[in-house]
Amino acid sequence: MKYALIENNIVKIISYQPVEGWEEVADTVFADMVKQPDGTFDESDEVKAQKQQAIQEATEIENKKASAKQKLQDLGLTVDEIKEAFGI
């Protein structure tokens, strides 16, 4: 179990040692999570937005790699040549 300092329903700090006045929480609770009215915890909107941004950026990188690979193939390079020279 963990212990959390909760201010305005937001987890500020987590401790693995009991601290007077802090709330005992599950191991799945982390700093910046929001305590819901039903007592459960969820990620803040800011954390959700950061995760979504990271997913979008990763998707864009993969799309750009696929596009570059296709363009190189269109220029006549083989898949093996592309992989050897560019790692894609």
pLDDT at 46: 87
pLDDT at 88: 86
pLDDT at 78 over 90: yes
Give CA–CA dist 77/71, Å, rounded.
9
Same domain, 35 and 51: no
pTM equals: 0.62
Same domain, 37 and 62: no
Long-range contacts of 31-37 (CB under 8 A, 24+ apart): 34/9, 34/10, 35/6, 35/9, 35/10, 35/11, 36/9
Give CA–CA dist 85/68, Å, rounded.
13
Number of domains present in the structure of the chain: 2
The domain in which residue 11 lies consists of 2-43
Same domain, 56 and 82: yes
Question: Which tens digit of pLDDT belongs to each residue from 2-60?
Answer: 999 999 999 999 999 999 999 999 999 999 999 999 999 999 888 899 999 999 999 99
Same domain, 52 and 38: no
Contact 28, 6 (CB under 8 A): no
